Amino acid sequence: MRSLFSYVPPFSGPLMQEIISMRAKPFMECGLTDRARLPELPEAMANRARWARETACKDPSSVEMDHELLPWVFCEEDDLWYSFDGNYSTQPPSEKIKKYNEWQAKRDAYNAKREEEADREYKHNLYWSQVRKDILIRDDYTCQLCGKQGCKPLHIHHILKRKEAGTDHYDNLLTTCPKCHKQADTKLYDPEYGKE
């Protein structure tokens, strides 16, 4: 899935000039975001934000937007990028967008993998529920080793274990009580079952 911000065009030139001319006073007092109100910022942040906004008013082409559409301006004197919110960064917004898109791609791939695993597990659970039900009905809800009937919970035992190429075929399954299931997996287990 492609990120909403895979491509962010440069936010400069006539468009920036138009925004500045339309909103000059609110732009300088409040910024473009609610979180950037200058009077509410600590002094150092307010100074950076004021400098970035004033520089943008003088030279709109110096403004770059990050993946959150927050404007940034580069200060050559400090070798730092200052945002309209008073933040600073050593990385240009284009680098932040690139890193954000990489992170987003990894997250999307991870989520897709998790979804696929969950879907596979769901389908297996549906399948196994049906197999279990069929085996319990076939064996009349009775342990096939000790003959105990109606005990709960009943288990479905793989005569030849899955890890030894045992399948979910009905001939390889039988109903057991928990005690007999433990014995069937240890003392009574025959790895040669069905190999003649």
Is residue 2 scored above 50 in pLDDT?
no
With cut-offs at 50, 70 and 90, classify the pLDDT of residue 191.
Answer: low
Q: Are residues 88 and 109 in the same domain?
A: yes
Q: Are residues 7 and 49 in the same domain?
A: yes
Q: Are residues 40 and 90 in the same domain?
A: yes
Picking from 81, 103, 126, the residue at the C-terminal end of a domain is: 126
Is residue 12 scored above 70 in pLDDT?
no
pLDDT in the model for residue 30 = 45
Q: Are residues 108 and 196 in the same domain?
A: no
Residue found by looking up tokens 């937007």 in the block: 65
The tens digit of pLDDT for each residue in 102-119 reads: 999 999 999 999 999 999
Question: Would you say residue 189 lies in a domain?
Answer: yes
Angstrom CA distances, 167 to 159, 162, 170, stand at 9, 6, 9
Picking from 71, 91, 126, the residue at the C-terminal end of a domain is: 126
How many angstroms separate the CA atoms of 65 and 93, rounded?
6
pLDDT in the model for residue 5 = 37
Which tokens belong to 28? Answer: 């300088």
Which tokens belong to 68? Answer: 């959150």
Picking from 81, 102, 126, the residue at the C-terminal end of a domain is: 126
Which tokens belong to 154? Answer: 């009943």
Which H or E run contains 72? strand 71-75
With cut-offs at 50, 70 and 90, classify the pLDDT of residue 192.
Answer: low
Which residues, 6+ apart, have CB-to-CB distance to 41 below 8 Å? 49, 85, 86
13-22 helix and 43-58 helix, angle to the nearest 10 degrees = 120
Q: How many domains does the chain have?
A: 2
pLDDT in the model for residue 177 = 92
The tens digit of pLDDT for each residue in 153-180 reads: 899 999 888 888 888 999 999 999 998 9
Question: Would you say residue 92 lies in a domain?
Answer: yes
Quote the mean pLDDT of the chain. 81
Q: Are residues 168 and 86 in the same domain?
A: no
How many angstroms separate the CA atoms of 25 and 70, rounded?
18
Q: Are residues 11 and 51 in the same domain?
A: yes
With cut-offs at 50, 70 and 90, classify the pLDDT of residue 24.
Answer: very low
Q: Are residues 71 and 165 in the same domain?
A: no
pLDDT in the model for residue 193 = 53
Question: Would you say residue 42 lies in a domain?
Answer: yes
Q: Are residues 39 and 109 in the same domain?
A: yes
Evaluate whether 13 touches 61 at the Cβ level (below 8 Å).
yes
Is residue 1 scored above 70 in pLDDT?
no
How many angstroms separate the CA atoms of 25 and 17, rounded?
14
Q: Are residues 96 and 144 in the same domain?
A: no
pLDDT in the model for residue 23 = 45
Q: Are residues 105 and 186 in the same domain?
A: no
The tens digit of pLDDT for each residue in 59-118 reads: 888 899 988 888 999 999 999 999 998 899 999 999 999 999 999 999 999 999 999 999
Q: Are residues 121 and 151 in the same domain?
A: no
With cut-offs at 50, 70 and 90, classify the pLDDT of residue 189.
Answer: low
> Domain range spanning residue 169?
139-196
Q: Are residues 119 and 186 in the same domain?
A: no
How many angstroms separate the CA atoms of 76 and 3, rounded?
31
